[in-house]
Chains A and B, each alone.
Chain A
Amino acid sequence: MNLGQILHDLLFDYTLRTVAMGSAALGLVSGVLGAFAVLRRQSLLGDAISHAALPGVALAFLLTMSRAPLVLVLGATLSGWLGTLFVITVTRQTRIKQDTALGIVLSVFFGFGMLLLSIIQRMPTASKAGLDKFLFGQAATLMSRDVVTTAALGAAALLVVLLLWKEFKLLSFDPAFMKSVGYPVRRLDILLTTLMVIAIVIGLQTVGVVLMSAMLVAPAAAARQWTDKLGRMVLLSGGFGALVGVLGAVTSAQVGRLPTGPTIVLYVSGIVVVSLLAAPDRGIVAQLRRRRRQRVQFAAEALAIHLLNHEGAPDAAVETAIAHLRQHLQWDESFAERVTRRTITSGLAERSNGHLRLTSYGREVARRAMAR
């Protein structure tokens, strides 16, 4: 299927359009909330919440025998919330550290959820079909009532973020100061965490509990690479989330029974890898280049000091000969050449008859460097 056909279907094919809209909405919401989760170092909490939501989905189904999205989302929210509460309480009241508490909640809740799922699988009812899609997600099964639920809950969450923007910013940066000026920090913390739970549960059916935290963490981690402004980071993260949501959902819907969660993770990993490597300033490539430039700059200053030390001395003629520099300073050929060039281009020294001679500027720089 070619790109034009896919675009056409996105606009006019009812099923595909539903899938795309639903996944765009959940990607946007989880990207935005994920930015705060990453900045507050709660990335793993997202993973625990999504796993903890599974028994809630199963119980909600067992109790109501209904697969209405609102019912399942409510069950997921309650159980995800319970898991969060457990993590917070255990961390605060016992000597168990947070990572351990997260691990306990994640595995115990998930295990319980799997148990319930297998019980449901053996039940003779017809309506059980498709609950196992909550494991790895199946975007193709999204229906318009799912999209409406997702969009409504997501819009509410985003509205709260918009209204409490500066409060959430301060909460993420410096909660102690926030408390000292009289904000109800605890309640705001609970509110922001609740929004995170909402962002997670609306994505469960599409992305699945196992990989939902990728939708929370990965877009935010990628976005952080490109900007130093919270507003831009949150927008970018939401944008990345929506993009990979649509890409993953459409791909998995087009390619038979491909689960959506893993597909989305593949796309988002691509964005993360590119961001880690290529982002200006924070990217690995930029950092390597900067480090190399600094090394040459430092060597150029060292060379200036060397020249200054031998200036006017009897051995000056030997020590300042470009051909000898390599040998004396133990630099390999290409590095020595680069440093020599840098010394000249940055005006520290001049070339004359195969020798390097300090400029007055170079002398000053060398003196200052030595005084440091």
Chain B
Amino acid sequence: MDRPLALEVRDLTVAYEEKPVLWDVDLEVPEGVLMAIVGPNGAGKSTLIKTVLGLVPSAAGQVRIYGQPYARRRELVGYVPQRGSVDWDFPTNALDVVLMGLYRKIGWIRRPARRERELALESLAKVGMAEYADRQISQLSGGQQQRVFLARALVQDAQVYLMDEPFAGVDATTERAIVALLRELRAAGKTLIVVHHDLQTVSEYFDWLMLLNVRHIASGPVAEVFTADNLRDAYGGRVAFVTPNAGSENGHLSEPQSLLSRGG
């Protein structure tokens, strides 16, 4: 593939107090893909993107964004944390949260000006939240809160987006809106790396896939990676049957453990 690598991870090992969370993970993500990171609970999915972002220290290995360390490529990267990672009772409104995505560009001491407000409003409009700009964030539904986080990442105007479970606990409308937005971003040449939980929607939503369970199991185009063998490797034999490369018409089964077990 001739496309440049948006993200390259080499030999990445991360441990919390000597308990390895990621073991020697390699990953290459070409520019312009919409990629899911999938794996069982505790597989290290969130840890992987937090390590890429420098939020979690690595024990070994390196991370490159467009060939450079993260610290040099920060402005190319947008981050959507898990919704549950902040206190939504914080006294602020939706527009203010989106503006936070611009703080670094605004610089020290200066306050957001009208131009930044307009950018933030535009970004809220892109996620269908324009009319909620003044709404106190605790009064938003879970899905709306998630969209505010997305808008904050959009306003960063990044090339690579890392998203930690943007579909967790959102309503169907929000899920559709997010998928549409992700596709739009991909069409604009952005690279999207999404921690995902729902195996049933992998083939429908994504074109690139990484299967992770502490080790790197497989990664590449969904058509090649989303196979029964790989899934069994990733889920440790607990998935006796999933429908690789099938649509999602039989509803949402978010955790494969519920799909009958063989080992366990």
Residues in A lying within 8 Å of B, measured CB to CB: 39, 41, 163-167, 169-170, 172-174, 176-177, 179-183, 224, 227-230, 233
Contacts and interface: CB of A to CB of B under 8 A. Distances in A.
A165 B93 contact: no
Contacts of B109: 163-164
Interface in B92-120: 92-93, 96-97, 100-101, 103-104, 106, 108-109, 111-112
A228 B136 contact: yes
B240 to A, nearest CB: 36
A169 B102 CA distance: 13
A166 B74 contact: no
B19 to A, nearest CB: 13
A229 B85 CA distance: 20
Given A166-B111, A181-B156, A182-B74, A39 B91 contact: yes
B79 A180 contact: yes
Contacts of A170: 100, 103
Nearest to B56: A176
A227 to B, nearest CB: 7
Nearest to B77: A180
Contacts of B54: 179-180
20 contacts: A39-B91, A41-B87, A164-B109, A165-B111, A166-B103, A169-B100, A170-B103, A176-B50, A176-B55, A176-B81, A177-B81, A179-B55, A180-B77, A181-B79, A181-B104, A182-B71, A182-B74, A224-B91, A228-B138, A233-B91
A180 B156 CA distance: 12
A230 B137 CA distance: 12
Contact of A39 (B79, B85, B90): B90
B53 interface: yes
Candidate in A165, A166, A180 with the most chain B CB atoms within 10 angstroms:
A180
Contacts of B87: 39, 41, 173
B1 interface: no
B85 A174 contact: yes
A181 B111 contact: no
Nearest to B88: A173
B86 interface: yes
Given A164-B109, A165-B111, A228-B136, A177 B100 contact: yes
A179 B50 CA distance: 11
Contact of B91 (A179, A182, A183, A228): A228
